[in-house]
Amino acid sequence: MYAYYTQLKEPEITPFKAGFLFLLCAVWIFTGLIGHDPWKPDEAYSFGLVYHIIQSGDWLVPTLAGEPYVDKPPLYYWTAAIFAKTLAPLLPLHDGARLASGFYTVLTLLFAGMTGRELFGNNRGWPVAIILIGCLGMLVRAHEILTDNALLTGCAIMLYGFALSLRRTTLAGVFIGLGLGLGFLSKGFIAPFLFLFISIALLLFRNWRTREYFTALGIAVLCALPLLVVWPLLLYLHSPAMFIEWAWTRNIGRWFGFAASGDFREVFYYLKALPWLAWPAAPLAAWTVWEARKRIWREPEFQLLLTSFLVMFAVLSFVPDINDQNAMPMLLPIALLATASLSTLRRGAANALDWFAIMTFALLAIVFWWGWGGLLLDNKAKITWWLKNYQPGFEPDFYAVPFWIAAAATVLWIAIVWRVGRSVRRSLINWAASISLLWILAMTIWLPWLDTGKSYRYMVVDLKKNLPQKYKCIAGVNIGDNQAAMLQYFGDIKPRTHASYVCDLLLVQGNRISKPIEDEIGWDKIWEGGRKGDTNERFRLYKRLK
């Protein structure tokens, strides 16, 4: 599948270079996985589901703050619970759970690299991984407690299986089926739809209308079948109503409802978002398509990658609740297409990308250090005023270990980019190293500032201090999923929904201009608070008057 690329001379990746690239990927993956609380918005509710498994031992029904939450299958939550319980003596539960994302990201980079090598020959595995960690859309999401990371791994395995299908039929079928099953158990019906439409769309090309390809698809279905059937069947046997809630109300029914609504304003969201989510892979992929335009629909590697991207774009654009993390599977074919540009991109373009990365990230690193120093010294600079105003509850302090880690990373980055000679591969390495530097700075010297604005720990602790010594129960009004999860985790507080008529306490979530209910007969406000870094989101606690 890579005859054209084997004719082009590629520099060998020496053991030393391979070790350096491995270290770069490892630093990028594991930085930020530990050391901070579950963050709003997505981590909080995801960890709440993991916390239920740890506390109750119920591995079948995803449950959030005591209420069934069958939005997605539980594979990621299972994995995170295993990590959290195994590492509990060493790490807080939320940090251990977050390592599940690191585990899935390692698998994603591994299989994406194997796909690049299968499609374009030797020395094309590492570049795919480097391009992926350089994509802006991967930076934050790959380090959060998100089930999308497991879906991304499933898609990477499935794509590798498709790449193998014309050469090693049985093994290809196993990998396609494994990726399909893992994707399904991670986020439901997205992965099966991707598998179905990619499989059918590839039949438009003669290269794929072969006995080997059909055999691989058959093996894939057989391998995926247990993963597709067992959990839904167990859920149905446990509660047919929950099965309907999961399969129809929260998944297929929502898709039909979205299609029937006629409100397609967000359908083209990814046209606007992908250029920056997939930067710098997107322009390199576009160059690959342009450079190979005369042969692009004749060669199976391009047929696979373009078909996969178009199918992913179409399917994910019609998934309700369109957001950035849903776009992560599309980064795989984009990064693989970008890898094909290594041998054809002009040196001038590579130098431009390199210098753009160095100058941009050098400036951003200076801003990071300047802003941190301004907060610590409490100077009167405008950036300091803005940072303090954005996180009004933040109290800066000097922590030696994070400082020295950040300083060492900055010096190493300068040493890496301060090298003679430019090439496409080096520009990609410099970009990935620069992204890693900013991430290290954010997760060391800036972590206390970020945690102040995104963690519910301080609010929940303060709330618990103000609870009466004796009370029957707490009713909750407008309590969101994230907030309910953190109330349970940090304070063992479980507000009851629709129970205000029997509870003697009432917790209401709103904003600073929400209508207070102390004017209502029978309630008296005894506490009000919120996250330190959020002056709008407010929680108010009321006590029933006797």
What 3-state DSSP class applies to 63? strand
Per-residue confidence (pLDDT) for residue 162, from 0 to 100? 97
Per-residue confidence (pLDDT) for residue 265, from 0 to 100? 75
Per-residue confidence (pLDDT) for residue 461, from 0 to 100? 93
Q: How many CB atoms lie within 10 A of CB 14?
A: 9
Structure confidence by residue, pLDDT tens digits, 221-230: 999 999 999 9
Per-residue confidence (pLDDT) for residue 417, from 0 to 100? 85
Q: Sheet holding 505-511: strands in order across?
A: 496-497, 474-477, 505-511, 537-544, 523-529
Determine the Cα–Cα distance for residues 9 and 122; give it in Å rounded to an integer.
11
Average pLDDT, the chain: 90
Structure confidence by residue, pLDDT tens digits, 233-268: 999 999 999 999 999 999 988 888 877 776 677 788
Q: What would the mean pLDDT of 361-366 be, rounded to a whole number?
A: 95
Per-residue confidence (pLDDT) for residue 42, from 0 to 100? 83
Per-residue confidence (pLDDT) for residue 497, from 0 to 100? 77
Q: What would the mean pLDDT of 263-282 be, rounded to a whole number?
A: 87
Q: What would the mean pLDDT of 7-19 be, rounded to a whole number?
A: 70
Q: What would the mean pLDDT of 200-205 be, rounded to a whole number?
A: 95
Determine the Cα–Cα distance for residues 374 and 384; give it in Å rounded to an integer.
6
Per-residue confidence (pLDDT) for residue 6, from 0 to 100? 47
**Least confident span in 174-178, 388-392, 401-405:** 388-392
Counting residues of the chain whose pLDDT is more than 70, the rounded percentage is 94
pTM of the model: 0.93
Q: Is the pLDDT of residue 535 over 80?
A: no
Per-residue confidence (pLDDT) for residue 293, from 0 to 100? 84
Per-residue confidence (pLDDT) for residue 534, from 0 to 100? 77
Structure confidence by residue, pLDDT tens digits, 482-491: 999 999 999 9
Per-residue confidence (pLDDT) for residue 351, from 0 to 100? 82
Q: Is the pLDDT of residue 537 over 90?
A: no
Per-residue confidence (pLDDT) for residue 320, from 0 to 100? 82
**Least confident span in 14-23, 74-83, 326-335, 431-440:** 14-23
Structure confidence by residue, pLDDT tens digits, 68-114: 999 999 999 999 999 999 999 899 999 999 999 999 999 999 999 99
What phi and psi, each to the nearest 5 degrees, are found at residue 139? Answer: -60, -55
DSSP 8-class letter at 340: G
**Least confident span in 53-62, 175-184, 391-400:** 391-400
**pLDDT band at 7, cuts 50/70/90?**
very low
Determine the Cα–Cα distance for residues 420 and 157; give it in Å rounded to an integer.
37
Counting residues of the chain whose pLDDT is more than 90, the rounded percentage is 65
What's the per-residue H, E or C state across 164-208? HCCCCHHHHHHHHHHHHHHHHHHHCCHHHHHHHHHHHHHCCCHHH
